[in-house]
Chains A and B, each alone.
Chain A
Amino acid sequence: MSTTAETNVHDDHDVHHHKETFVTKYIFSQDHKMIAKQYLITGVIIMGIIGIMMSMMIRLQIAWPEQPNVLFEALLGKWAPGGVMDADIYLALVTIHGTIMVFFVLTAGLSGTFSNLLIPLQIGARDMASGFLNMVSYWLFFLSCVIMILSFFVEAGPAAAGWTIYPPLSALPMAQGGSGAGMTLWLVSMAIFIASSLLGSLNYIVTVLNLRAKGMSMTRLPLTIWAFFVTAIIGVISFPVLLSAALLLIMDRSFGTSFFLSDIFIQGEVLHYQGGSPVLFEHLFWFLGHPEVYIVLLPALGITSEIISTNSRKPIFGYRAMVASILAIAFLSTIVWGHHMFISGMNPFLGSVFTFTTLLIAIPSAVKAFNYITTLWKGNLQMNPAMLFSIGLVSTFITGGLTGIILGDSALDINLHDTYFVVAHFHLVMGISALYGVFAGVYHWFPRMFGRMMNKNLGYIHFWVTAICAYGVFFPMHFIGMAGLPRRYYTNSNFPLFDDTTNAQAVITVFALVAGAAQLVFLYNFVSSIFYGKKSEKNPWKSNTLEWTAPVKHIHGNWPGELPTVYRWPYDYSKPGHDEDYVPQNVPMKDGEEELQH
């Protein structure tokens, strides 16, 4: 690793940096720790609040359709005349809720916060490979957030074609109000978002490969870093495909091309489009869309691995198997996209192929789940809020993952496709699981970010209310889906057939509202702890990884003086022969101590 050694030598000068102004420190910062906080506040907190607020409105509408609601009147204005939500804005809320949660909160918010914070600190680097690109990446992300939110203020409303924006609905302004200026803004916002994401991902990959501290071989990397690293690779492979789909859609919308459109008669006239196919768009979209699930999930699993091991005071069970399953999931994730399209009209033979590859992905996922459970076995579990959220993640990951076995089976998908069963499945397995990963990460690394501790009792309340409500919302939802109720219906009142699901819908909404309110506890805890939290010690969780060897107070370059040298893997917890139940990575091996085969 000659590059590692070289960079270590020459970037010592970073320590005595030129003087910082307010603008370079807090706004156009190139420091990875500040950028991580910027991502956290913008991506997770602000966009998260907006996304969750939307889901609350969606749930209120589903449970009590077409009822006047003062909340709608206040928040939606002209879209809720007399407080009754309009059908157009319902679809817009569904669309933007999906977009914000998947891309802004769980992709940019999650990776942006924790990859930025942890990659340099856990591999023992002064900063990201390119601080400047990192800054550009954040500000592009910020710009895309602003544009996405601005789309709520255009005349005909924001994009409303579902977060998958399938053409022709998304391509034709006459097909629905949201496909006008709102969709243009959606596409522009996403194009900028993808640019931001690619800059970030490239930076993560280069940093992990080149800037590891002395002794930090790939097999000594914490699983967080493995997860962030592989996530970045999947992002670089798949996001450009979505960008190309978005650009082609822009061409179809504005320049008269026919990539995705053909033979369309709408509002009394035949359009000129000929020869394109919406199925092509579906292929391009899901070539990103499915890996996207793992872009969301892998960092959360990486965070969980780290937290479960630390708080169990035990090495993570099967380190190599964990790395192998991350790699296997990453590879398989790029060849399963067709399971979103079993009934799209593609060749049924392809359906068989995609069923096969899809169910294969259950194997590495099962290995991960069993390894987590075994890590708990005979541990000495420290029930910090971060640990609770990690255990909660394993629980929802199992529950949500198992229903994937049903949906991945093309024959069963025929009758469940686009029903509430799908909604319940993906919310549990990627939505809730990844959110738990975010929460676990925030509770665990809050001291590292802000030098203060979050209140644990509020953390407990937050977890238990959220955990109960998450199951309360999504468990019964499977049954509604199996009854055949399609998703994205503004109201079911035109289908007496589904009247026996209405009570369950109301119960689900109550759970959802309580879960939403529980997030206020987190918000309070987060904000007040930044200012008034108990001052943190250097290594509050007695963790092995390098970020806890750096001083509490943030400095440019992370470590004063020399960078730490790594002598062991990150999971020497409760290792026989040591007095303490943890041995940080920068502690040299004792005489005769063996680096156990792991």
Chain B
Amino acid sequence: MTTLLIFVIVLFVAVAMWQMVKIFDLAQVGASNSQIATDKDNRFNGYMMIGFLIFIYAITIASFVYLGDLPLTSNSASEHGPGIDNLMIISMVVIFFVQTVTQFLLHYFAYKYKGEKGRKALFYADNNTLEFIWTVIPVIVLAGLIISGLFTWNDIMNLDESEDPMVVELYAQQFNWKARYGGDDNVLGKANVRLIDIDKANILGVDEDDPNAQDDVIVTELHLPKGRPVLFKMRSQDVLHSAYMPHFRAQMNCVPGMVTQFAFTPTVTTSEMRQNPDMQEKVANINALRLERKVEIEASGQDLTYEFDYLLLCNKICGKSHYNMQMKIVVETQEEFDAWMKEQKTFGNSLN
């Protein structure tokens, strides 16, 4: 019944709008007989073009003023992070420059050359020099961006095995994450989903007979020591997931039937990041906003006060609860990490 009522209301609103537009439409008939732009229309829209240009600049500035602290272009928490951030800033500067100039030319010309009766446009069909110039300039600029981009990319993706990275498996399933450490030998035991044995609590399908697997450690909160390279091996048991760690500028898909990998070195511990002035400002801002929604947040059972933590998010659509597939990441000093690790059960001891 309510549905019907709503449809009737929507219908009425639609009819009302239709009628309003129609009144406007009829009111125009006397004003101008022709549906082709007149000089008056050209002038009006010419001025609107300048207005629109100002609007584009204004929304750019407004976005920077109000949302400028959102972008992750500083305070990265990994060794390769600043490289990505620099490249991002350089690219942004280039595109904002081009954007500002080309939008100006486009809208200014649209204003400046607005039509007038009796004026004749310039017959100007071609100019090879001009076209050569604006083919070559993008080529040079893009060549620069491509080259620095490729250096950054190769730097990130090509792992230097001599650095003795700590091996960690990220294991994805609908809708949570697990992490598996190689243990004392830093070698992950073999695993396959066919070996999963829920009754024995072997939830990742680790090979129970593999000697390397005995000291593996499986956890639901990812701890990383500061300063040591980490080589992540990603697995998924069901559908595609993507391990996204925005603060470390790191992301890699988890693909069923295949092991993918990504490596980085954390450089800032969680507590250091919490002390970072930029981060403190951001957190204070978030908490002020949360206070405004106090009732709603407390009703949902969350803590009202937000405290910063690194997160691993799922960033590939994976089903109903995709929006809540996360794992906390703790970066700490080597000593803290060792102490934490000591408390964890090894795979060999965790089986039923």
Interface positions of A (Cβ within 8 A of B): 70-71, 73-74, 77, 87-88, 91, 161-162, 166-169, 172, 175-177, 261-266, 268, 270, 273-279, 312-321, 343-345, 348, 351-352, 355-356, 359-360, 362-363, 366-367, 369-374, 376-384, 387-388, 391, 394-395, 398-399, 402-403, 405-406, 409-412, 414-415, 417-419, 453-458, 460, 464, 467-468, 471-472, 475-476, 478-480, 482-484, 486, 488-497, 499-504, 517, 520-521, 524-525, 528, 533-534, 540-541, 571, 573-576, 581, 596-598
Given contact pairs A276-B257, A489-B323, A496 touches B302 in the complex (Cβ within 8 A): yes
- Chain B residues with CB under 8 A of A597: 126
Looking at the complex, which one of B18, B135, B149, B260 makes contact with A411 (CB distance below 8 Å)?
B149
10 closest cross-chain pairs (CB), A and B: A262-B257, A484-B246, A482-B71, A348-B157, A453-B35, A383-B45, A345-B260, A479-B67, A496-B306, A411-B152
Looking at the complex, which one of B84, B88, B193, B313 makes contact with A263 (CB distance below 8 Å)?
B193
Task: Verify B255–A279 contact, CB threshold 8 A.
Answer: yes
Task: Verify B106–A395 contact, CB threshold 8 A.
Answer: yes
Task: Verify A499–B286 contact, CB threshold 8 A.
Answer: yes
What would 26 A/B residue contacts be, using CB atoms closer than 8 Å?
A: A77-B3, A321-B131, A351-B157, A367-B138, A372-B106, A376-B109, A383-B115, A410-B149, A410-B150, A412-B149, A414-B249, A417-B251, A457-B28, A464-B48, A476-B59, A480-B70, A488-B323, A494-B302, A494-B324, A496-B286, A497-B286, A502-B289, A524-B21, A524-B22, A541-B36, A598-B125
Task: Verify A490–B322 contact, CB threshold 8 A.
Answer: yes
Task: Verify B67–A476 contact, CB threshold 8 A.
Answer: yes
- Chain B residues with CB under 8 A of A319: 125-126
- Chain B residues with CB under 8 A of A411: 83-84, 87, 149-150, 152-153, 156
Residue of A nearest to B122 (CB): A378
Instruction: Give CA–CA (A467, B28) in the complex, Å.
Output: 23
Looking at the complex, which one of B103, B115, B322 makes contact with A395 (CB distance below 8 Å)?
B103
Given contact pairs A475-B59, A483-B70, A598-B125, A374 touches B130 in the complex (Cβ within 8 A): yes
Task: Verify A488–B322 contact, CB threshold 8 A.
Answer: yes
- Chain A residues with CB under 8 A of B48: 464
B352 at the interface (CB under 8 A from A): no
Docked complex: B72-129 residues within 8 A CB-CB of A? 72-73, 83-84, 87-88, 91-92, 94-95, 98-99, 102-103, 105-107, 109-110, 113-116, 119-127
Looking at the complex, which one of A344, A383, A406, A488 makes contact with B255 (CB distance below 8 Å)?
A344
Residue of B nearest to A161 (CB): B317
- Chain A residues with CB under 8 A of B240: 166, 168-169, 278
Task: Verify A381–B115 contact, CB threshold 8 A.
Answer: yes
Task: Verify B95–A500 contact, CB threshold 8 A.
Answer: no
- Chain A residues with CB under 8 A of B174: 175, 266
B193 to chain A, nearest CB (A): 4
Most buried by A among B34, B52, B92, B319: B319
Stretch of B6-14, B177-185, B222-230, B267-275 at the chain-chain interface: B6-14
A71 to chain B, nearest CB (A): 8
Task: Verify A496–B322 contact, CB threshold 8 A.
Answer: no
Stretch of B139-147, B162-170, B341-349 at the chain-chain interface: B139-147
A183 to chain B, nearest CB (A): 13
- Chain B residues with CB under 8 A of A74: 2-3, 6-7, 10
Interface range on chain B (Cβ under 8 Å from partner): 35 or more
Instruction: Give CA–CA (A337, B300) in the complex, Å.
Output: 42
Instruction: Give CA–CA (A278, B17) in the complex, Å.
Output: 48
A521 to chain B, nearest CB (A): 6
Looking at the complex, which one of B33, B55, B138, B302 makes contact with A471 (CB distance below 8 Å)?
B55
- Chain A residues with CB under 8 A of B35: 453-456, 533-534, 540
Instruction: Give CA–CA (A573, B115) in the complex, Å.
Output: 14
- Chain A residues with CB under 8 A of B244: 417-418, 484, 486
Given contact pairs A418-B315, A479-B71, A315 touches B124 in the complex (Cβ within 8 A): yes
Task: Verify B84–A414 contact, CB threshold 8 A.
Answer: yes
B110 to chain A, nearest CB (A): 5
A588 to chain B, nearest CB (A): 19
Task: Verify A414–B323 contact, CB threshold 8 A.
Answer: no
Task: Verify A455–B6 contact, CB threshold 8 A.
Answer: no
Looking at the complex, which one of B92, B192, B324 makes contact with A406 (CB distance below 8 Å)?
B92
Task: Verify A355–B146 contact, CB threshold 8 A.
Answer: yes
- Chain B residues with CB under 8 A of A370: 102, 131, 134
- Chain A residues with CB under 8 A of B125: 315-319, 571, 596, 598
